[in-house]
Amino acid sequence: MEAFTDRWIDSFSSQYETERLGSISWVTTSVSPALQQLVIDGTIPRGARIVDLGCGPGVHATFLAAHGMRVTGVDRSRAALARAASLAAFYEVPVDLVEGDILAMPLPDSCADVGHDSFVYHNVRPESRERYAAEVARLLVPGGLFILVGFSDRMTPGSGPLRLTSDDILGPLLPYFAVEELRRFRNLPTEKRPDQWHWLGLFRRRP
């Protein structure tokens, strides 16, 4: 089963091999304010084992490692992982990087305290969402935290990832996770999307 939408496969998956990072619309020089706050308030504690799902060029993975977390980044793109390795090396922080499919990650059961998804789920085919949720749950210890950030249905219509309703998120996740928080927030503006409305979801793996 292919996880990602045809548009992602056709238009986006090869960009790490062919484009400058600065020209890729979803790559920014900083992590989202929502993730920063989770570190500041201790929701993600120092020393936590984190799997960064679809880590891309490693911006979030490097940030988390720099703040004392034990981070594994997973991505299907070798080119993205190479860039992530360079970024982690620049900041001199340890990040384990693994090439893998988000529907069948080459990681052991219960290997993480936290799963982090920044703009991955909104590219997943609707028919693959429950399988993805089950795979994330497999990686987490009971009570482990799953953090999800993605486009909300309040985003300006147009090209790019799917706009997610609350049902799109909760339906696949509720068999495996309890909801701690699900809210929309305004994220950092970009030239193409100056008013970004995203979801932040915090979910606990059921025992």
pLDDT the model gives residue 189: 77
Q: How far apart are CA 73 and CA 85, in angstroms?
A: 10
**pTM summary value:** 0.87
Percentage of the chain beyond pLDDT 90 is 71
C-alpha distances out from residue 178 to 7, 172, 181, Å: 31, 12, 9
C-alpha distances out from residue 140 to 93, 134, 172, Å: 23, 10, 16
Q: pLDDT (tens digit, 9 = 90+) per residue, 130-169?
A: 999 999 999 999 999 999 999 999 987 776 788 999 999 9
Specify whether the CB–CB gap between 100 and 107 falls below 8 A. Answer: yes
Q: How far apart are CA 187 and CA 194, in angstroms?
A: 9
Mean pLDDT of the chain: 89
pLDDT confidence bin for 87, thresholds 50/70/90: very high
